[in-house]
Structure 1
Amino acid sequence: MSESSSVPHVVAAAAFTPSVRVARMMETLRVAEMVSRLPDAVYAPEVDPLLQQAGLESFFNCVRSLIEFLELRRPKPSDFSATDVLPTWSPTVDAATSARLQDDWLNASRQVMHFSKDRVRSEAGPAVEVPSDAASLHRMADDVLGVWDQYADQVGHPLCPKRADFSLWR
């Protein structure tokens, strides 16, 4: 094994045991940064079509997870959310953005998370078309990460940077 192998780094990272609060911040930051980066990565011309499809599905999954985490849609009782990190969390979202995010959550649920009858043509009619062009992905990212930025402001911790300060994959 060469010294440049990432295995020692992984072993060292496994030895680090963050607090529950820090672990939750680390995981949500990773997901938020994926939402930020995937719209461009999905449509990069050098990316294999299979990886583009995987990136697109990952993007929808991450958007859905952030919508629930940020409590724009009620998370399951078994899931952690922003109030588990910041008990005083209270997002401010205008009606139009809230409606779009609810639609985004529903589309991700129907098109990625479940084999919904809306996903393909069925007895009920044609498949529901979900916008997945680059502009639509950027709009979704902008909406949910706009709320993330509010969360980052309120948390005020280095593991909760605003979108402009994301750096995991840069």
Structure 2
Amino acid sequence: MRESPPVLMSILSANEQHSPMTRSRTISVFRHCVEALYVVKDQHPQAAKEAAGNVLPAWPDAFKVPLNLDPQQDISGEHWDGLEIRIRIFRTMETVHTSLPRVLTPYLPAYVTAAFHHLQALYPTFVAYYPTDSVAVPNSSEGEPIELYKLITLLVDFVTGTTRQSKARVAFDEGTLF
């Protein structure tokens, strides 16, 4: 896990060099690394603690960059590739929160706020495409389906799961959500 994340991080941050679909796959690889770390943490507690302390914290910071971009830009074109990045980020944050919650705790208020912002920004598009099925949902540039409902479901699940902790409730207490 020491060598891969810097390479993965460089791919994720290279917007001009790599497609959103390629960049989203790096997030999935990272998520699988977190899952593997969780599996071995009982057998190798020191190595897991070192990896969690040295490698993992860079990722929530890196995820803030694409999440701070307006989600409307991902649904304004012919393909919704950028949504796949957001889907995989929130899926990964859910995995980190479940597997290694201390790593994510300092970031929870910002991510809960981002999740609510995404829900608000994407709601009109969701209503236009899903309840009526009157318009076909665009695929990715690679022909893969990009399902907005998956992102909406992940956002709701993430907010529900994380706000059970007092650290994430700060987003509600500070009135930063709306």
Larger Rg: 1
Please, what TM-score do these two structures have when normalized by structure 2?
Answer: 0.31
Give the structure with the higher percent helix.
2
Please, what TM-score do these two structures have when normalized by structure 1?
Answer: 0.32
